[in-house]
């Protein structure tokens, strides 16, 4: 750290991304990326003359992309905000919506970035414990009078709240923004986007990183009341108006033109998830009822960290969190059926080894 860094940043506890080791070709089941390539339309769009246009700034209004998103979700363009990854939406929301009292509420076990943003902006976080079975009790979030953020489905548990439960939270917190992070909604959850027409305090964020096979493109979007969207635009134009690069903009439009391709890939992931769940249960694992592109699993014959290490030694990466309450679990991304078979075989071998 240099002597020039402001004191308020000296103790930041930054987000630690899942490892991306370069030492060998791993089967990567640790960062919830898609195992599938983007659709043909995306590959074509990015390889087109658009590359030559890189000398020009990208469209700061992102109008073509916003119009595609609004069509798909049945809202107006003015209800859509697009960002350089949905992490940027979370960032701006913590910056803009935590209120004069600078307070935020989110589940104790959830996406690790929430805490990081709260710290970055000096926001006091109330982190509500999950229930014993790792589910969220929606009643804990009623009448909070604070900025609320909930991932639905939640990560790394994969569990969902119902639309009705979220509506209760939104309805009873009318003076604060409720941000629902739907990064995984396409894998079996139900979106609350329709509720954004009814409630001006509900913001929904989504990403192209998981279900749309484009984590490396960095593209996320938010849907909400047009005044909330204007607030996000205000912050964007005060920081980085050209927040999405040209190639990502055309890739996003092209992806939405082949939406069926992505929805079919999601179905494939769900099928592979069901296969993985069935096989892991046979091996003695306990799992949460995941509605995402990962499973969250633990077993009695080996502890979580040891399983993570032994899988890594066999060339398979999964995500282990050292947090006390979940340290016996691993979060395993769902890949292709071949990758999941390789995972199951590796775990069978490990089970033999530790016997
Ligand atoms: C992956 C993820 C994000 C971040 O998505 P990007 O669009 O890649 O920034 C946000 N929230 C949750 C819960 C995630 O798992």
Opening angle at CA 190, ends 187 and 191, nearest 5: 105
Q: Is 156 in the pocket of ligand 1 (CB under 6 A)?
A: no
**Mean pLDDT across the chain, nearest whole number?**
96
Residue 341 banded pLDDT, cuts 50, 70, 90: very high
Instruction: Answer whether 24's CB lies under 8 Å from 200's CB.
Output: no
Residue 355's pLDDT is what?
85
Query: Which tops the pLDDT comparison, 259 or 16?
Result: 259
Say if residue 24's pLDDT is above 90: no
What 8-state DSSP symbol labels residue 327?
A: T
What 8-state DSSP symbol labels residue 215?
A: G
What 8-state DSSP symbol labels residue 131?
A: P
Other CB atoms within 10 A of residue 241 CB: 12
Other CB atoms within 10 A of residue 350 CB: 21
Q: What is the pLDDT of residues 228-251, one digit of tens each?
A: 999 999 999 999 999 999 999 999
Residue 22's pLDDT is what?
79
CA pseudo-torsion sign 62, 18, 90, 148 = positive
Instruction: Answer whether 48's CB lies under 8 Å from 250's CB.
Output: yes
> Looking up tokens 């003695």, which residue turns up?
284
The Cα–Cα gap between 207 and 222 comes to: 9
Residue 17's pLDDT is what?
86
Residue 40's pLDDT is what?
95
The Cα–Cα gap between 221 and 223 comes to: 7
Of 107, 84, 105, 83, the closest CA to residue 94 belongs to: 105
Tokens of 216: 């490396």
Q: What is the mean pLDDT of residues 280-308?
A: 97
Considering the entire predicted model, what is its pTM? 0.97
Taking the centre of ligand 1 as the mean of its atom positions, its distance from the CA of residue 34, in whole angstroms, is 13
Q: What is the mean pLDDT of residues 303-327?
A: 96
Q: What is the pLDDT of residues 52-89, one digit of tens each?
A: 999 999 999 999 999 999 999 999 999 999 999 999 99
Taking the centre of ligand 1 as the mean of its atom positions, its distance from the CA of residue 227, in whole angstroms, is 24
Worst-scoring range by mean pLDDT, 97-101, 135-139, 226-230?
97-101
Residue 303 banded pLDDT, cuts 50, 70, 90: very high
Residue 111's pLDDT is what?
96
Residue 47's pLDDT is what?
85
Residue 19's pLDDT is what?
82
> With pLDDT > 70 as the criterion, what percentage of the chain qualifies?
100
Candidate of 83, 91, 160, 207 to mutate for ligand 1, largest count of ligand atoms within 8 Å of Cβ: 207
Q: What is the mean pLDDT of residues 189-207?
A: 98
What are the backbone dihedrals phi and psi of residue 228, each rounded to the nearest 5 degrees, phi first? -65, -40
Q: What is the mean pLDDT of residues 15-39?
A: 90
Other CB atoms within 10 A of residue 301 CB: 14
The residues near 136 (Cβ < 8 Å, ≥ 6 apart) are 107, 128, 130, 150, 154, 159, 161
Atom of ligand 1 nearest to the CA of 151: 13
> Residue of the nearest CA to atom 15 in ligand 1?
183
CA atoms within 13 A on the CB side of 12: 18
Q: What is the mean pLDDT of residues 307-329?
A: 96
Residue 115's pLDDT is what?
96
**Strand runs (DSSP E) across 100-197, as ranges?**
103-107, 124-128, 147-151, 178-181
222 beta partners = 81, 205
Taking the centre of ligand 1 as the mean of its atom positions, its distance from the CA of residue 88, in whole angstroms, is 9
What 8-state DSSP symbol labels residue 108?
A: S
The Cα–Cα gap between 43 and 260 comes to: 16
CA pseudo-torsion sign 234, 101, 179, 290 = positive
Of 233, 236, 14, the closest CA to residue 120 belongs to: 14
Say if residue 336's pLDDT is above 90: yes
Q: What is the mean pLDDT of residues 300-325?
A: 96
């Amino acid at each position: 750290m240099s002597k020039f860094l402001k004191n308020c940043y000296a103790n930041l506890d930054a987000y630690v991304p899942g490892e991306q080791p370069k030492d060998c070709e791993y089967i990567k089941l640790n960062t919830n990326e898609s195992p599938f390539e983007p659709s043909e339309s995306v590959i074509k769009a990015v390889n087109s003359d658009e590359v030559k246009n890189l000398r020009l700034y990208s469209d700061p209004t992102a109008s073509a992309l916003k119009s595609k998103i609004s069509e798909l979700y049945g809202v107006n363009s003015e209800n859509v905000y697009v960002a350089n990854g949905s992490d940027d939406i979370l960032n701006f929301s913590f910056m803009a919506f935590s209120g004069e009292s600078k307070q935020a509420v989110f589940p104790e076990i959830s996406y690790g970035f929430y805490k990081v943003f709260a710290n970055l902006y000096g926001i006091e976080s109330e982190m509500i414990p999950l229930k014993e079975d790792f589910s969220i009790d929606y009643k804990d979030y009623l009448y909070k009078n604070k900025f609320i953020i909930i991932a639905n489905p939640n990560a790394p548990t994969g569990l969902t709240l119902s639309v009705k439960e979220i509506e209760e939270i939104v309805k009873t917190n009318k003076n604060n923004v409720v941000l629902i992070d739907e990064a995984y909604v396409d894998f079996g959850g139900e979106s609350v986007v329709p509720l954004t027409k009814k409630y001006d305090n509900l913001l929904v964020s989504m990403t192209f990183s998981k279900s749309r096979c484009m984590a490396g493109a960095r593209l996320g979007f938010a849907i909400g009341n047009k005044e909330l969207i204007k607030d996000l635009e205000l912050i964007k134009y005060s920081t980085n108006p050209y927040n999405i690069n040209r190639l990502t903009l055309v890739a996003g439009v092209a992806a939405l033109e082949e939406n069926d391709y992505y929805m079919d890939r999601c179905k494939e992931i769900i099928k592979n998830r069901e296969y993985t769940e069935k096989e892991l249960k046979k091996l003695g694992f306990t799992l949460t009822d995941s509605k995402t592109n990962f499973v969250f699993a633990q077993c009695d014959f080996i502890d979580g960290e040891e399983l993570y290490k032994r899988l890594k030694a066999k060339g398979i990466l999964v995500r282990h969190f050292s947090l006390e309450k979940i340290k016996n679990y691993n979060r395993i991304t769902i890949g292709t059926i071949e990758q999941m078979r390789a995972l199951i075989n590796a775990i069978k071998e490990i089970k033999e080894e530790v016997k």
